[in-house]
Amino acid sequence: MWRASLPSPDDIGEVIVELTRNGAYLKCSAVHVATGIEASAIGPVAERVGLERIAIGKLKRALAAR
Helices (H), 1-66: 48-64
Q: Which residues contact 65 (CB under 8 A, 6 or more apart)?
A: none
Q: How far is CA 23 from CA 3, 5, 27, in A?
A: 24, 29, 11
**Average pLDDT score over residue span 23-50:** 96
Question: With 90 as the cut, is the pLDDT of residue 3 above it?
Answer: no
Question: With 60 as the cut, is the pLDDT of residue 2 above it?
Answer: no
- 33 neighbors 12 (Cβ within 8 angstroms): no
**Average pLDDT score over residue span 6-26:** 83
- Confidence (pLDDT) at 11: 82
CA-CA distance, 15 to 26, in Å (whole number)? 18
Instruction: Report pTM.
Output: 0.82
